[in-house]
Homo-oligomer: A and B are copies of this chain.
Amino acid sequence: MKAEIISIGDELLIGQVINTNASWIAEQLNLSGISVYQIVTISDERVHILKTLKEAGDRSDIILITGGLGPTKDDITKETLCEYFETKLSFNEEVFKNIQLLFEKRGYKISELNRKQAEVPEGCIPLPNIHGTAPGMWFEKKNTIYVSMPGVPFEMKALLSDFVIPGLLSRFKTGAIVHKTILTHGLPESLLAKKIEHWEDNLPKHLKLAYLPKPGAVRLRLTGKGNDKSALENEIEEEIRKLQLIIPTEIFGFDNDSLSQKVGQLLREKGMTISTAESCTGGFIAHLITSVAGSSDYFKGSIIAYANEIKEQSLGVKTQTLIDHGAVSEETVLEMVTGIKSRFKTDCAIATSGIAGPGGGTDEKPVGTTWIAISTPFKTFAKVYEFGDNRERNITKAAMTALNLIRKELSS
């Protein structure tokens, strides 16, 4: 069984709107055991729509279409579907009642344009749109199912969850499909691949591995397909246990976990608090920590010490240290971390000092040079990194690396 997604809309082709609908639909289908063969984004243009429907119909069993159902002139999906299915529009009392209800709730008056939205192609099954005026439309032709949905995300989402997925599941017997994403930090993709090569080569044939790198992390996704869902889940768990023996410190979580959430969880478990003293990361570590709901339970605060005088005055870094070693040095970052920890009376602390760029680099300390210090009740240390020459990525990498260092300390 193959599904295909067709996204209709000029706004997608000029890059004005990011196609989040297609990703969301793809995710929902996969979670239901339905594979997506491809996603096509096309313009609001009759010939293009007809051609795409024909091609999709020739190869796929399920075709989900979004967009082009609005009340304005540039929306031509409904008329084009009539042409494709060789049928005509006809007024539907049920659909009209839904529109009336919606307008009453919002206190608007129904216009002639809205009345036209109650017309649907004869032969299709209209699906109720509880959030908007354009109904979903379910068609069948030569054993292929076509569903047309509005492009407004929250309207489409309700339609898909409430009617389309249940409808598809009652029609098709789907196999079991299990995904698990393993989150790692600390090794670039190529070195990680080398290290887990043997494990990867010995994976059972029906488990597939994918690498998904992003700044400061490499995600590994294991996908298993088969008939028995719980057997697949067990197999994946078993493979993850093997992997944990190979890269025990690199794995920081699974699926939608984040480093800051993981650090928060460890702090909470141990009843510890944290603070940060940030120079080059400029508050980004504090931002990541406080992006997690409930972080006020363990995060007390930070001092962002961009100017040297703030490092001295608010963190207690010695003037002589700054003169002798500079702001970007092991000595300074260690004084920063002990300074924030004692002033904010926290159990743990993170400090950063580096040259984010693009200016400020020297031969000895090029742009990207970053000192990170970590302090826990048991240990205080600093490490130096060279991240590269892109300011934005340097800030991200320094923050992620710092969070991973404290995570490793708290996990050990």
Residues of A at under 8 Å CB distance from B?
Answer: 10-20, 22-30, 35-43, 48, 52, 70-74, 105-108, 111, 113-114, 131, 133, 152, 154, 179, 181, 188-191, 193-194, 200, 208-213, 215, 221, 223, 276, 278, 282-287, 289-291, 293-296, 299-307, 309-310, 313-314, 343-345, 356-359, 386, 388, 390-393, 395
Contact = CB atoms under 8 A, between A and B. Distances in A.
A194 to B, nearest CB: 5
19 contacts: A12-B23, A12-B39, A14-B26, A15-B28, A15-B36, A19-B39, A39-B39, A40-B40, A72-B189, A106-B188, A108-B188, A283-B283, A287-B287, A290-B304, A290-B306, A300-B307, A301-B306, A303-B304, A309-B345
Contacts of A19: 18-19, 22-23, 39
Nearest to A201: B73
Contact of A301 (B28, B48, B212, B305): B305
A131 B390 contact: yes
A215 B395 CA distance: 22
A26 B15 contact: yes
Nearest to A299: B306
A371 to B, nearest CB: 15
Given A14-B179, A39-B40, A189 B304 contact: no
A190 B71 contact: yes
Work out how many copies of this chain go into the complex: 2
A272 B29 CA distance: 51
Contacts of A107: 386
Q: Which 7 pairs show the lowest CB-CB distances between chains A and B?
A: A282-B290, A15-B27, A283-B286, A283-B283, A15-B26, A302-B304, A39-B41
B289 A287 contact: no
Contacts of A343: 313-314
A30 B43 contact: no
Nearest to A211: B72
Given A18-B20, A114-B190, 20 more contacts: A12-B23, A14-B179, A15-B36, A16-B27, A19-B19, A37-B48, A38-B42, A38-B48, A71-B189, A71-B190, A111-B190, A133-B190, A154-B215, A291-B391, A293-B358, A301-B310, A304-B304, A309-B345, A313-B343, A314-B343
A39 B71 CA distance: 25
A345 B221 CA distance: 50
Contacts of A70: 189, 211, 213
Contacts of A181: 16
Contacts of A20: 18
Contact of A314 (B36, B287, B293, B314): B314
Given A284-B287, A304-B286, A191 B111 contact: yes
Nearest to A13: B36
B12 A17 contact: no
A71 B29 CA distance: 29
A242 to B, nearest CB: 18
Contacts of A74: 208-211
Given A296-B306, A301-B314, A314-B301, A16 B212 contact: yes
A20 B388 CA distance: 22
A133 B310 CA distance: 40
Nearest to A193: B72
A296 B20 CA distance: 33
